[in-house]
Chain A
Amino acid sequence: MAEKPEVNEAMAGVPKTPQEINEQDVVVSAPSTLKTVIREFKQDKVATVALILLIVLFVVVAVWSFFIPNSKVTDVNIMDQYLQMGTSGHILGTDEQGRDLLLMLIASAKNSLFIALMITIIGQVFGIIFGMITGYFGGIVDTIIMRIIDFWTVLPFMMIIIVLVSIVSKYNIWTLIGIIGLFSWQGTTRLIRSKVLSESDRDYVRASKTSGSSNVMIMFREVLPNLSSIIIVDSTLTFAGNIGIETTLSFLGFGLPNGTPSLGTMISAATDPTVLVSKAYVWVPAAVFIIVITVGISFVGQVLRRAFDARQRLG
Chain B
Amino acid sequence: MWKTILRRVLIMIPQIIILSILVFMLAKAMPGDPFTGSIGPNTDPKQIVALKRAAGLYDPWYQQYWHWIVNLFHGNLGESYTLKQPVTAVLGNRISNTIWLSLLTLIISYAVAIPLGMTAGRYEGSRRDRGIVIFNFITFGVPTFVVFLLGLFLFGYQLGWFPTTGTISADASGFIGEALSRLNHMILPAILAGILGTTSTIQYLRSEIIDSKSQDYVRTARAKGVPTNKVYSRHIFRNSLLPIAAFAGFQITGLIGGSIIVETVFSYPGMGQLFVSSITSRDYSVVTAIVLFTGILALLGSLLSDIIMSIVDPRIRIE
Residues of A within 8 A of B (CB): 46, 147, 150-151, 154-160, 162-164, 166-167, 237, 240, 243-244, 247-248, 251-254, 264, 267, 270-271, 273, 276-277, 280, 283, 287, 290-291, 294-299, 302
Contact = CB atoms under 8 A, between A and B. Distances in A.
Given A166-B30, A267-B146, A276-B152, 7 more contacts: A158-B257, A162-B276, A163-B279, A251-B145, A270-B153, A290-B143, A295-B138
Contacts of A147: 11
Given A244-B143, A248-B143, A248-B145, A280 B302 contact: no
B291 A160 contact: yes
A253 B301 CA distance: 29
A166 B284 CA distance: 11
Given A163-B291, A276-B153, A287-B149, A298 B140 contact: yes
A302 B18 contact: no
A283 B15 CA distance: 42
Given A160-B291, A252-B264, A243 B143 contact: yes
A280 B279 contact: no
Contacts of B149: 267, 270, 276, 283, 287
A287 B149 CA distance: 9
Contact of B260 (A167, A252, A270, A294): A252
B111 to A, nearest CB: 24
SS of B interface (majority): helix
Contacts of B157: 273, 276-277
A163 B26 contact: yes
A253 B280 contact: yes
Contacts of A167: 26, 29-31
A314 B238 CA distance: 29
Interface string B139-151: 0111111100110
A299 B134 CA distance: 8
Interface residues on B, range: 35 or more
B152 to A, nearest CB: 7
Interface stretch (B50-58, B86-94, B212-220, B292-300): B292-300
Nearest to A296: B141
6 contacts: A159-B291, A244-B143, A248-B143, A252-B264, A253-B276, A267-B149
A156 B291 contact: yes
B285 interface: no
Contacts of B256: 156
B146 A290 contact: yes
Contacts, number: 120
B315 to A, nearest CB: 16
Contact of A295 (B133, B142, B299): B142
Contacts of A276: 149, 152-153, 157
Interface string B259-300: 011001100000000011001101000010011001100110
Contact of A294 (B18, B31, B143): B143
B150 A287 contact: yes
List of 7 A-B pairs having minimum Cβ-Cβ separation, nearest first: A298-B141, A244-B143, A294-B141, A156-B294, A156-B257, A295-B141, A154-B298
A114 B256 CA distance: 29
A84 B291 CA distance: 42
B137 A247 contact: no
A243 to B, nearest CB: 7
Nearest to B11: A147
A248 B294 contact: no
A154 B253 contact: yes
A158 B265 CA distance: 16
A88 to B, nearest CB: 26
Contacts of B80: none
A282 to B, nearest CB: 12
Contacts of B102: none
Given A160-B291, A163-B279, A280 B153 contact: yes
Q: Which of B30, B153, B276 has the most CB of A within 10 A?
A: B153
B209 to A, nearest CB: 15
Nearest to A246: B143
B299 A154 contact: yes
A248 B261 contact: yes
Contacts of B275: 159, 162
Nearest to A47: B137
B55 to A, nearest CB: 21
B198 interface: no
Most chain B CB atoms below 10 A, which of A156, A162, A166, A248: A156
A274 B202 CA distance: 37
Contacts of A150: 302
Given A290-B146, A291-B146, A154 B302 contact: yes
A295 B31 CA distance: 40
A302 B139 CA distance: 13
Most buried by B among A46, A159, A299: A159
A156 B31 CA distance: 21
B164 interface: yes
A298 B137 contact: yes
Contacts of A280: 153
Contact of B134 (A46, A157, A296): A46
A273 B156 CA distance: 11
A252 B276 CA distance: 8
Contacts of B287: 163
A151 B260 contact: no
A156 B137 contact: no
Contacts of B298: 154-156
A154 B303 CA distance: 10
Contact of B153 (A162, A247, A277): A277
